[in-house]
Structures are given as C-alpha cells and as structure tokens.
Amino acid sequence: MFVQGFGEILTDILTVNPAFSDFPSASSILDTSNYTFQALTFGKDAGGFVQHSHAVSSIQYVNDVVASGASSFDSGILTVINYASDVTNGVSSYIPSGSYLLFSSTYDSVPNDPSPLDTRLERGSTLSVNLSSYQFASALPDLGHYANPAVDNQLSAIWNKVGGFAPSGGANYNFYNKNKDLLFNGTLSGDFNTSGLMDKNGFLTVNPKSVREITNTDFGGGALVFSSTGLEPSEGKLRIRTRTSRGDGMSLVAFGSVKHIGVYCLDLKSMLTEGLTPPYAWNCLNNDRKYKLVAKATILDNPLFHRDLGATPGFGTLLAATPTIINLNLDFK
C-alpha cells in the first residue's frame, strides 16, 4: 500500500522550483534520484522484538564468563530455540509459531494493520528493552523495523540480540530444541552485509540501474525495481524485488521472520534542512541519507517458511541454501 509519504513526495515533485536549474550549486536538487525509491526495510510485529532470538538470559556473558558491563550477550552467539521442535519435520527448523503459542499470554504476535497514515512499519516501539543493561543501551534504535547492528560500532557486539541481519564474517549460532538441548551449531554470513548493501538502521539500498538495464536476479547492487510480464511501465506498473539469502534468511527467521516490507524515498526536505545537499552517495558505513516511508506491505504468513526434508535440517541446510524472493507489485494508475 502506498502511504501518505508518497503523496508528499508527489507534491514535492510537482512543486519543486524549476529555477534551481539556473544555479549550478542547486541544480542537483532536480535530479530524479532525489525522488525515486532508494531503500527497503524489513519489519515484524512490535512484540516480537523481545521474543525469538531477541530473548536473553538475565546474565551477560563474555566468553562464557559472567561479566559486568559486558560488551556482548550469550557470548555473541545467535541463540535459536525452536519451541515447536515436536512438529513433524520441524525438529531442525525454526518455527516462529512455536514462540507465539508458548508465550501467547504475554506476546501479541500480530503486526499492525497497514494504514495510509503510517510513517514507519510498526507503530509500537521496536526497542529491544531486554538489552537495557548493555553499556551502549542508549544507542539501541527504535526504528519500527529491523536494525542492522553488525555495521554499528556500538552495537555490533550484540547483533545476536538486536537482530535481524547476520554479519559478513561468519557468525556463530546455536540451535536448540524446545527443551533447550543443543541440537547443532554452525556459522552464518549475511549477503546484505557482505556486499555492503545495508546501513546500521536496516535500510537496504535500491539498485540504481534503470528497468531497461537490470535483470531480475541482479541483486548485487541492492533491491531491484524492474518490470516483468504483466507489470510493464507501459501499463503504469512495476515490481520491486528483494532477496534474503544465506545468513540473512536464517537470522531473520530466527528473530521472528518478516511481516512488513517498507519502501522509501529520500526525505529531501529533512536533509536540506540539516545542510545535507545532493548528490547523496550510498555508503553503508556512514550513511547520511534520511528516508521517508512511501509504501509498505504487511504479511501474515511466514515468507521464510522452511521444514526439514528427511534427514536434511531445514534451518541449517535448506534455508541456508535456498534464497527467498519477495516481490512487491506496484500499479501507479
């Protein structure tokens, strides 16, 4: 659904002063990239930000030693507890509904209904209050969607609790059954961070290529805006596509999966007010772009659904090897 932010962008487009073209220092304000889709985010139910792999023990550990003012929780290892491990074909898969059921008395796992008035994916706080004892707790973001602490120098040590995207370098995870018996462990690496496509606030950049140049598997530059059969620009339609693969899909499902997708343009007025002038280059480690939500989609099913196949674990093998493609179809007419 398009939200009111898109109406604001359209109004900006129709009312930006053409006279800027006469001033070399300001003419870049008229570049279309200031008004087109520039980022995607992933979100979920607000209540889920203290559940799933966000949940922490009450004691901080560093290298398995209880520590005060520690810089990491659970030794920096992603902890995955499958509370539905008795489900057929589910012992080695992460089934979010197991957590919904077990904690249903306190956990509302339903995401916000999308509203055209939304300015963020989830209206409630998505702050991980479990982490308030962390020494850099004030740096914890309340974004309305998943952050990407792996590239945040204050939060990277607790990426395994903040969620939701795996670092690039091969992080460790432990996978437990409902009785908290360790079933297996492994490592996971996220493609978004390996390719430098996402900033610390979870904004996945959009591939700047045009629909004419792009292929529908060209994910190396970010999320895609492209056309496909039945979704041609000649008909006023486009498709936005993103892919969660390898550690990205694994970590996202471990933190409670994806229930919202957000699409953003630049918040040009906000940046100009702060003295940030275009062009705005993409830099995942030092991103000074500010974004405005223009469209969102809310999903009640689990797009990262997986199950074991015979002796093959769903989480560590099948999900790790099978990218998940998420498409958003747009009709501008």
Partner 1 sequence: MIKSLTNQMGIKGHLTIHKIVEGEEEVVYDEDNVIVSGFGWALSHLYGKLGSNTITDYQIDRVQLGVSGYAGLQVSSTNSLSGALSSTTEYLGQSTDSNLNVVSGFRWENDSVVTTPQIYAKIPFSKVTRIDDRTVRYTIFIDEDSCNNLSRPGVPESALNEIGLFIKNPKADNIETSILTAYRYFSNIRKTSDFALVFRWTISFG
Nearest-angstrom CA–CA distance, 247 and 164 = 10
Shortest separation between residue 305's beta carbon and partner 1, angstroms: 23
Closer CB to partner 1, 200 or 296, in the complex:
296
DSSP 173-236: EEEE-TT--EEEEEEE-BHHHHTT-B-TT--EEBP-S-TTT--TT-GGGSBEEE-BTTB-GGGT
Which residue from 50, 95, 204, 238 is in contact with partner 1, where contact means CB under 8 A? 238
User: 106, 229, 234, 286: which one contacts partner 1 (CB under 8 A)?
Assistant: 234
- Binders of partner 1 among 190-219, rule CB under 8 A? 208-212
Q: How many residues form the binding site for partner 1 (CB under 8 A)? A: 44
- Structure tokens belonging to residue 25: 């220092």
Closest CA to 263 of 21, 8, 7, 41: 41
Binding of partner 1 by 35 (CB under 8 A): yes
Kindly state whether residue 321 participates in binding partner 1, applying the rule CB under 8 A. Answer: no
CA angle 319, 42, 263 (to 5 degrees): 130
| Tokens matching residue 294 | 């223009």
Specify the residue, 170 or 236, whose C-beta has the smaller distance to partner 1. 236
CB closer to partner 1 out of 151 and 204? 204
Give Cα 46 to chain centroid, integer Å: 14
Instruction: Find the length of the chain.
Output: 333
Binding region for partner 1 (CB under 8 A) out of 26-34, 77-85, 178-186, 196-204? 26-34
Dihedral pair phi/psi, residue 115, rounded to 5°: -130, 145
Provide the token pair at 114.
């999308």
Q: Which of 217, 233, 274, 283 binds partner 1 (CB under 8 A)?
A: 233
- Binds partner 1 by CB under 8 A, chosen from 86, 108, 235, 288: 235
- Contact between 190 and 93 under an 8 Å Cβ cutoff? The reply is no
Q: Which is nearer to partner 1, 81 or 225 (CB)?
A: 225
Instruction: Output 29 or 320, the one with its CB closest to partner 1.
Output: 29
Under rule CB under 8 A, residue 18 binds partner 1: yes
| 225 interacts with partner 1 by CB under 8 A | yes
- H or E element at residue 240: strand 237-244
| 14 binds partner 1, rule: CB under 8 A | yes
277 binds partner 1 (CB under 8 A): no
Range in contact with partner 1 (rule: CB under 8 A) among 9-17, 125-133, 192-200, 249-257: 9-17
Residues 81-120, mask of contacts with partner 1 (x by CB under 8 A) = -----------------------------------x----
Strand order in the sheet with 324-331: 224-226, 237-244, 324-331
16: contact with partner 1 by CB under 8 A: yes
Q: Which two tokens stand for residue 223?
A: 């999320």
Q: Distance (Å, rounded) from C-alpha 154 to C-alpha 202?
A: 15
Is residue 264 within the footprint of partner 1 (CB under 8 A)?
A: no
Largest CA distance in the chain: 69
If we measure between CA atoms, which residue out of 176, 170, 168 comes closest to residue 149? 168
Nearer to partner 1 by Cβ, of 120 and 239: the residue is 239
Residues contributing to the site for partner 1 (CB under 8 A)? 1-2, 4, 6-8, 10-11, 13-19, 21, 30-37, 116, 208-212, 225-227, 233-238, 329-333
